[in-house]
């Protein structure tokens, strides 16, 4: 019984069984990474082989041409110049949208009457594809970075707002009462019960909205801009330069994957208490 | 009224839901003296938890009034400790963070808090689990975390709703003995709900029997066994047997009635 209990909470040195179990997990993980790498290499090799043999490179370019392009951009500073502006707009939009969304979600979650009154309007606003607002934002904020920030902020806002709101409504009232009896102030309840309880929802909202924030910025750049990854892709499309189009798409894919894995790790850590 | 820690006066509770009214408590009156250890027994659904919730100020009563330490209970009652029947341990906090929670609300410095938490965990036999999350504990262990949390900030009145129901027989006896010791040393008033008659008799100075729905006080038995008591040995005393017979005589028809519903 003593052994069981200490193992359950990870105190003391890990036993042999624990070490074997963990080694098994590591082996599996390594196998997954190896297979992922093999899959990627096979895919690139097929693309390289097919380009020019099966399909005209004018349409599908080829890995060597695309990576050549990427290398050139990396070296001449173009990559940094365009990627930094796209990431900057996405990040600022994300921060503005999630901060306002989180605050409003908490507020509406606390004032159920207000939430009920405004419910149909919120649903209506939510139903608008946010990208349809992009032209409007360009009129309001001009073709500079502000309009891109506005697009991504508006996307992130709604997802975070609605998730925070649901999270607050979902809080088990037992926790609220129990902590109040123990002496928690309003802020104490907010800090120790409502916010942590809503975290699972908020994180889900953030995870869903980050890729959209990136999409929002890029779409904004498609429409009108003179810098950014979206601008590169739009400009290259106009010139039938498929190498550059693919290079731009790959940059977006890699950036999206990196952001997602950061969020996933954050989520795993924040929600480590969950069963 | 001097000396009464809790005085319950003509309390009714009717729940209204889905177009019907459920009478949970029907005109309950009861005085609980300061320093008393009172046990509530009764068939399930007779309103024992409802009554504790009203003393704690979580739910309003339909009519009547409850005074606690000379104050009328009208909102959340911050002068009691309440060990609820449902799990109230916060799943996103570790055991030590949960136990330290009431101290955190009182602004106790971290070092002092840590010391107090360690003492409480030793008391409920959960040493070594301070960094565990509730999901890693059994139901009985979580109950003990909630108990440690309640004892950590030392409220004078403790409301306990079936606190030891999920514990195995031996641990239950150990926890009962600890509770009796704390009650005597710290002169607390305890209201203790249980479905275990033997537990009620071993601990309480007075056992209140509730009738089945609607809940009413049906019978009160004074337990004459002197304190300090040894919970391992009380059950062999004659007074224990007499009390058990009396209580069972009153309780068993109620339980049968409950089954009909
Ligand atoms: N929130 C509620 N809404 C409607 N009925 C309730 C509610 N809570 C309890 N009841 C009813 O009140 C009665 C007493 O419940 P409870 O106090 O939990 O009983 P006990 O703790 O004695 O088992 C039960 O019949 C139960 O169905
Ligand atoms: Mg109950």
Per CB-CB distance under 8 Å, the chain A contacts of B128 are 5-6, 9, 11
Q: What is the mean pLDDT of residues B102-118?
A: 94
- pLDDT, tens digit (0-9, with 9 covering 90-100), for B36-45: 999 999 998 8
Q: How many CB pairs under 8 A join A and B?
A: 75
Domain shared by B72 and B169, yes or no: yes
pLDDT of residue A5: 46
Domain shared by B179 and B250, yes or no: yes
Of B21, B47, B196, B200, the one to substitute when testing ligand 1's pocket (max ligand atoms within 8 A of C-beta) is B47
Cα separation of A273 and B14, whole Å? Answer: 38
Strands lying side by side in the sheet with B80-83: B80-83, B157-161, B189-193, B37-41, B206-210, B217-222
Domain shared by B11 and B55, yes or no: yes
Binary contact (A9, B132; C-beta < 8 A): yes
Domain shared by B118 and B73, yes or no: no
Distance of CA B168 to the CA centre of its chain: 18
pLDDT of residue B12: 93
Check if the beta carbon of residue B61 is closer than 8 Å to that of residue B12: yes
Smallest CA separation from ligand 1 atom 5, residue: B15
Of B13, B15, B54, B258, the one to substitute when testing ligand 1's pocket (max ligand atoms within 8 A of C-beta) is B15
pLDDT of residue A9: 52
- pLDDT, tens digit (0-9, with 9 covering 90-100), for A199-223: 888 888 888 888 888 988 998 898 8
Distance of CA B94 to the CA centre of its chain: 24
Total domain count, chain B: 2
Q: How many residues does chain B have?
A: 261
Mean per-residue pLDDT of chain A: 88
Distance of CA B182 to the CA centre of its chain: 14
The predicted model scores a pTM of: 0.83
- pLDDT, tens digit (0-9, with 9 covering 90-100), for B163-200: 998 888 888 999 999 899 999 988 999 999 999 999 99
Domain boundary among B106, B139, B155: B155
Smallest CA separation from ligand 1 atom 3, residue: B15
Check if the beta carbon of residue A246 is closer than 8 Å to that of residue A61: yes
- Which tokens go with A149? 């920030």
pLDDT of residue A14: 76
pLDDT of residue B112: 94
Asked if the C-beta of B164 comes within 8 angstroms of chain A's C-beta atoms, the answer is: no
- pLDDT, tens digit (0-9, with 9 covering 90-100), for B1-20: 447 899 999 999 999 888 88
Q: How far is CA A246 from each of CA A77, A83, A222, B233, rounded to the nearest angstrom?
A: 18, 15, 15, 83
CA of B209, closest CA in chain A: separation in Å?
27
Domain shared by B53 and B75, yes or no: yes
pLDDT of residue A67: 93
Q: What is the mean pLDDT of residues A31-56?
A: 94
Which residue bears the tokens 């209506």? A124
Domain boundary among B155, B179, B211: B155
- pLDDT, tens digit (0-9, with 9 covering 90-100), for A104-139: 999 998 888 888 898 899 888 888 887 888 889 989
Domain shared by B34 and B131, yes or no: no
Domain shared by B197 and B252, yes or no: yes
For ligand 1, residues with CB inside 6 Å are B 15, 17, 22, 24, 42, 44-50, 213
Domain shared by B151 and B166, yes or no: no
Asked if the C-beta of A57 comes within 8 angstroms of chain B's C-beta atoms, the answer is: no
pLDDT category of residue B202 using cuts at 50, 70 and 90: very high
Q: What is the mean pLDDT of residues A75-80?
A: 92
Binary contact (B56, A177; C-beta < 8 A): yes
CA of B199, closest CA in chain A: separation in Å?
25
Output the DSSP codes for chain B: -TTEEEEEEEEEEEEEETTEEEEEEEEEEEEEETT-EEEEE--TTSSHHHHHHHHTTSS--SEEEEEETTEE--S--TTEEEE-SS--S-TTS-HHHHHTHHHHHTT--HHHHHHHHHHHHHHTT-TT-TT--GGGS-HHHHHHHHHHHHHHT--SEEEEESTTTTS-HHHHHHHHHHHHHHHHHHT-EEEEE-S-HHHHHHH-SEEEEEPSSSB-EEEEEE--PPSS--TTTGGGSHHHHHHHHHHHHHHHHHHHHHHH-
Domain boundary among B126, B155, B184: B155
Domain shared by B132 and B182, yes or no: no
Of B25, B42, B50, B214, the one to substitute when testing ligand 1's pocket (max ligand atoms within 8 A of C-beta) is B50
pLDDT category of residue A12 using cuts at 50, 70 and 90: low
- pLDDT, tens digit (0-9, with 9 covering 90-100), for B114-152: 999 999 999 888 988 999 999 999 888 999 999 999 999
pLDDT of residue B59: 94
Q: What is the domain range of residue B38?
A: 4-79+156-260
Binary contact (A174, B88; C-beta < 8 A): yes
Decide if pLDDT at A243 tops 80. Answer: yes
Cα separation of B82 and B160, whole Å? Answer: 6
Cα separation of B23 and A30, whole Å? Answer: 62
pLDDT category of residue A4 using cuts at 50, 70 and 90: very low
**What value does the CA radius of gyration of chain B take, rounded to a whole number of Å?**
18
Domain shared by B105 and B163, yes or no: no
Domain shared by B251 and B164, yes or no: yes
* Domain containing residue B32: CATH number: 3.40.50.300
Binary contact (A184, B105; C-beta < 8 A): yes
A13-17, A93-97, B126-130, B177-181: lowest mean pLDDT where? A13-17
Binary contact (B105, A272; C-beta < 8 A): no
- pLDDT, tens digit (0-9, with 9 covering 90-100), for B218-256: 999 999 999 899 999 998 999 999 999 999 999 998 887
User: Which residues partner with B15 through β-bridges?
Assistant: B22
Cα separation of A244 and A61, whole Å? Answer: 9
If you measure from the C-alpha of residue B163 to the centroid of ligand 2, how many angstroms do you get, rounded to a whole number? 11
Q: How far is CA B7 from each of CA B41, B157, B214, rounded to the nearest angstrom?
A: 18, 13, 20
Domain shared by B141 and B190, yes or no: no
Nearest CA in chain A to B152: A182
Smallest CA separation from ligand 1 atom 18, residue: B49
pLDDT of residue A3: 42
Decide if pLDDT at A24 tops 60. Answer: yes
- pLDDT, tens digit (0-9, with 9 covering 90-100), for A222-231: 888 889 999 9
Q: Which of A12-16, A54-58, B27-31 has the highest mean pLDDT?
A: B27-31
Check if the beta carbon of residue A223 is closer than 8 Å to that of residue A138: yes
B62 φ, ψ (degrees, to nearest 5): -80, -45
Asked if the C-beta of B72 comes within 8 angstroms of chain A's C-beta atoms, the answer is: no
Decide if pLDDT at B22 tops 50. Answer: yes
Asked if the C-beta of A178 comes within 8 angstroms of chain B's C-beta atoms, the answer is: yes
CA of A169, closest CA in chain B: separation in Å?
17
Asked if the C-beta of A184 comes within 8 angstroms of chain B's C-beta atoms, the answer is: yes
Cα separation of A99 and A97, whole Å? Answer: 6
pLDDT of residue A2: 41
């Amino acid at each position: 019984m003593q052994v069981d209990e200490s193992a359950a909470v990870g105190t003391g040195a890990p036993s042999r069984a624990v070490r074997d179990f963990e080694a098994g997990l590591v082996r599996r993980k390594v196998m997954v990474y190896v297979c992922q790498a093999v899959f990627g290499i096979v895919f690139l090799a097929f693309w390289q082989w097919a380009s020019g043999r099966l399909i005209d490179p004018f349409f599908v370019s080829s890995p060597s041409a695309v990576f050549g392009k990427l290398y050139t951009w990396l070296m001449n500073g173009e990559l940094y110049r365009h990627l930094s502006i796209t990431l900057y707009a996405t990040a600022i939009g994300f921060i503005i949208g999630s901060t306002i969304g989180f605050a409003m979600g908490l507020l509406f979650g606390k004032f159920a009457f207000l939430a009920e009154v405004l419910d149909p309007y919120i649903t209506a606003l939510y139903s608008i594809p946010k990208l349809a607002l992009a032209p409007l934002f360009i009129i309001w904020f001009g073709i500079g970075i502000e309009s891109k920030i506005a697009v991504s902020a508006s996307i992130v806002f709604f997802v975070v707002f609605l998730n925070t709101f649901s999270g607050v409504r979902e809080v088990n009232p037992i926790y609220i009462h129990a902590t109040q009896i123990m002496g928690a102030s309003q802020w104490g309840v907010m800090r120790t019960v409502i916010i942590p309880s809503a975290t699972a929802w908020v994180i889900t909202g953030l995870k869903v909205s980050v890729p959209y924030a990136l999409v929002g910025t890029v779409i904004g750049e498609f429409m009108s801009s003179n810098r950014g990854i979206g601008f590169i892709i739009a400009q290259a499309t106009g010139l039938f330069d498929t190498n550059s189009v693919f290079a731009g798409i790959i940059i977006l894919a890699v950036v999206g994957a990196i952001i997602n894995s950061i969020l996933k790790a954050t989520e795993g850590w924040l929600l480590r208490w969950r069963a | 009224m001097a000396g009464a820690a809790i005085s319950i006066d003509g309390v009714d509770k009717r729940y209204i839901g889905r177009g019907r009214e459920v009478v949970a408590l029907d005109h309950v009156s009861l005085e609980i003296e300061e320093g008393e250890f009172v046990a509530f027994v009764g068939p399930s659904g007779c309103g024992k938890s409802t009554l504790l919730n009203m003393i704690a100020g979580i739910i309003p009563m339909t009519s009547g009034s409850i005074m606690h330490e000379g104050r009328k209970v009208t909102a959340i009652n911050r002068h009691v400790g309440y060990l609820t029947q449902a799990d109230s341990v916060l799943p996103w906090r570790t055991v030590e963070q949960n136990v330290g929670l009431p101290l955190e609300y009182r602004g106790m410095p971290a070092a002092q808090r840590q010391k107090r938490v360690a003492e409480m965990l030793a008391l409920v036999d959960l040493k070594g689990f301070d960094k565990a999350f509730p999901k890693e504990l059994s139901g009985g262990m979580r109950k003990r975390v909630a108990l440690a949390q309640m004892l950590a900030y030392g409220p004078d009145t403790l409301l306990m709703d079936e606190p030891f129901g999920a514990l195995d027989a031996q641990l239950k006896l150990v926890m009962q003995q600890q509770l009796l010791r704390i009650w005597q040393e710290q002169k607390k008033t305890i209201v203790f709900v249980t479905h275990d008659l033997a537990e009620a008799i071993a601990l309480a100075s007075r056992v209140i029997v509730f009738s089945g729905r609607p809940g009413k006080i049906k019978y009160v038995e004074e337990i004459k066994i002197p304190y300090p008591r040894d919970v391992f040995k009380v059950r062999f005393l004659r007074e224990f047997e007499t009390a058990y017979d009396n209580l069972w005589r009153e309780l068993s028809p109620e339980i049968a009635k409950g089954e009909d519903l």
